[in-house]
A and B are shown apart, each in its own frame.
Chain A
Amino acid sequence: MALNELVRVEHLVKYFPAGGGFLGKPRAFVHAVDDVSFTIIRGETFGLVGESGCGKTTTGRLILRLLDPTSGKVIYDGQDILRLDGNAMRHMRRKMQLIFQDAFSSFDPRKKVFDIVAEPLRVHGLASGSQLRERVAELLVTVGLEPRHGEEYPHELSSGQKQCVGIARAISLNPEFIVADEPISAVDVSVRAQVLNLMKDLQEKLGLTYLFISHDMSVIRYLSDRVGVMYVGKLVEYAPKSELFKNPIHPYSKALLAAVPVEDPDQRREREILEGDVPSPVNPPNGCRFHTRCKFASPVCSEEEPPLLDRGGGHFVACHSF
């Protein structure tokens, strides 16, 4: 294990039952995450990008053990968290937190902001009375709100402020690792930059490690140190950010990058458009899951699953053609 490694995911698999009758055996499984391995280095932002249904959110939840995997390992700071018992896991949870896409729906609408932020501190018995009030006020200020916002209800806040409350709650236990799942997609466009700045500042100030999950390439590019691309339950490529964006190797990563509309009317171009739809994760294609849409596909691609191999400089790619 590398010295500075914080999270190591080994052959992670998660199948969800799909269909099947009442009390009956499920007839099929959604192959949400299928043999995914990677590591997250302490202090970095690892960006996980992919289209809906690719398994990026499930991967995040498995790492936090909010879901138990079908098989595979999650090693956090040298410990296999799947082997921890209830008490030990509870303790571990203080170190790992989640920022939700839609902060508002993760709040109890009848609770005031103060109680929402205070809840983790109360649950873990870390503060009470005036100490708790001080800590919550401090957290609100840290995320750019004011202590008076504690007296408001979440529906009274703007979209950006709601997400800031979500962030305040996530950092309340002084975690070292945060999974941020589409943290700005529900935030007003003109407020997104504020939330991104906040996340960057907090990372520096609190020494946080992020797993940043998003479908938005420009945000991933801006925040991440390394980026992984997922497609139908598989990690198809991962590399240092600049390397991935400059020199994507997997045909899917290339297509994904080319598909993003550029915010410059002078750069309109005839793009190569990826044909077809994303295959269903219930019945993923054999071999390479991308072969049905890949113009480089050869017979081997539909038969053998390509292994994820290091092409040098920490640039991992799962593709037969390159």
Chain B
Amino acid sequence: MSDRKDSAILSVRGLKVHFDTSQGVVRAVDGVDLHVKTGETMAVLGESGSGKSVMALAIMRLVPIPPGRIVAGEVHFEGRNVFQMGANEVRRLRGSTIAMIFQEPMSSLNPAFTVGEQITEAIVLHQGIKGKEALDKAIEMLKLVKIPSPEKRVHEYPHQLSGGMKQRVMIAMALSCRPKLLIADEPTASLDVTIQAQILELMKELRRQVGTTTLLITHSLGVAAEMADRATVMYAGQVVEVAPIRDLFHDARHPYTKGLLKSVVNMKEGTRRLDVIPGAPPNPTRLPEGCRFHPRCAKADKRCCTEEPNYVSVGEGRWVRCWYPET
């Protein structure tokens, strides 16, 4: 997957992040490659335990060590190796160059400080603006994320806001320093459907206005289809497929992606019985040999059980990690 190095603002290469637990070593991220181009929205699609969130934390150097360990790999942001940065440089990177929003806005906001205090903290820290000016900037950010009467809301505490409003505040905080990359980790998973629609619409609009490159981590095929330009599909700590979003939905090549999409189509068409992927995702302390998906794959043969597949190119900008990609 070397051909997109040049245009990539973020490159993750061969990343392995393991955790030592009482049950054994959890290979949460185990050889992941990811390339995000300037200006695009890249979805990282995967179910819980696929390693998508740990990868995001590793990009920001936020993996707790121990129990975590960066076993191998590199993260390059604008050509610089994040893992070799000094403490000061990393601090600048977080918040100012790369910003992150999380699934649960309630647990990411500090209940003891007002919304304004929390937004201005980043502005003061990274932009050197102070006092009234910083507060005005915070109000401007709240306006940007369409919070009604921002002059009043800026003095309120998180508990006075609804879930959707809190997520708007998180987005305002994340964008307040004009980051080059926004990592959104399941930004709407804890929200109701109509509020999710509001937040997705807001994110799209901000993308048009501000043009932030976005890494969107999600388990929802619908959210990915709605938002992303390209997608990287993860399974059991590895990337199984990379494709432009249309290609992925119309012509998936990895049996796992294909299986996921099949049941979605079945449901839409009201098929009597859904096509299923048999079995369940593997226990992360006991990952299967060979291809991690082989115990659930109808096409698996001897080779899949013993040899780990490598990336194969299956078209323009398309990669799949499978011995027998679907055609």
Contact residues of A with B, CB < 8 Å? 51-52, 158-161, 188-194, 196-197, 200, 215, 217-219, 221-222, 255-256, 258-268, 271, 273-275, 277-278
Contact = CB atoms under 8 A, between A and B. Distances in A.
Nearest to B193: A259
24 contacts: A189-B219, A190-B260, A190-B280, A190-B296, A192-B263, A193-B275, A194-B276, A200-B272, A215-B192, A218-B264, A218-B267, A222-B267, A256-B193, A258-B197, A259-B196, A260-B193, A262-B222, A263-B222, A265-B249, A273-B197, A274-B197, A277-B164, A277-B165, A278-B162
Given A188-B280, A190-B259, A261-B223, 9 more contacts: A189-B47, A189-B219, A191-B277, A193-B277, A259-B196, A263-B249, A263-B268, A265-B245, A275-B198
A193 B225 contact: no
B2 interface: no
Contacts of B102: none
Contacts of A197: 273-274, 276
A257 to B, nearest CB: 9
Given A188-B281, A260-B222, A263-B264, A193 B276 contact: yes
B221 to A, nearest CB: 5
Contacts of B270: 221-222
Contacts of A192: 263
A256 B194 contact: yes
Contacts of B281: 158, 188, 190-191
B266 interface: yes
A265 B225 contact: yes
Nearest to B271: A222
B305 interface: no
Nearest to B266: A193
B246 interface: yes
A219 B259 contact: no
- In the complex, which of the residues A255, A265, A267, A275 has the most CB atoms of chain B within 10 Å of its own CB atom? A265
B249 A193 contact: no
Given A52-B192, A274-B194, A277-B162, A190 B277 contact: yes
Top 9 nearest A-B pairs (CB, nearest first) are: A261-B222, A158-B280, A259-B197, A51-B192, A193-B263, A193-B274, A261-B226, A189-B47, A222-B267
Given A193-B276, A263-B221, A268 B226 contact: yes
Interface in B245-287: 245-246, 249, 256, 259-261, 263-264, 266-268, 270, 272-278, 280-281
B220 interface: yes
B193 A221 contact: no
- Main SS at interface, chain B: helix
A278 B276 CA distance: 36
Given A263-B222, A264-B249, A265-B245, A277 B195 contact: yes
A189 B274 CA distance: 13
A219 B274 CA distance: 12
Interface of B: 47-49, 162, 164-165, 192-198, 200-201, 219-223, 225-226, 228, 245-246, 249, 256, 259-261, 263-264, 266-268, 270, 272-278, 280-281, 296
A264 B194 contact: no
A191 B267 contact: no
Contacts of B274: 193, 196-197, 222
Contacts of A52: 192
Contacts of A221: 267, 270
A194 B278 CA distance: 8
Contacts of B268: 218, 263
A277 B266 CA distance: 33
B309 to A, nearest CB: 19
Contacts of A193: 263, 266, 274-277
Contacts of B196: 259, 261
A278 B191 CA distance: 12
B113 to A, nearest CB: 22
Contacts of B197: 258-261, 271, 273-274
A52 B275 CA distance: 30
A266 B220 contact: no
A278 B192 contact: yes
B260 A261 contact: no
A18 B8 CA distance: 53
B191 to A, nearest CB: 9
A200 B273 contact: yes
Given A256-B193, A268-B226, A261 B47 contact: no
B225 A262 contact: yes
- Residue of B165, B223, B267, B270 with highest tally of chain A CB at under 10 A: B267
A217 B259 CA distance: 20
A160 B280 contact: yes
Contacts of A278: 162, 192, 194-195
Nearest to B263: A193
A190 B275 CA distance: 11
A271 B201 contact: yes
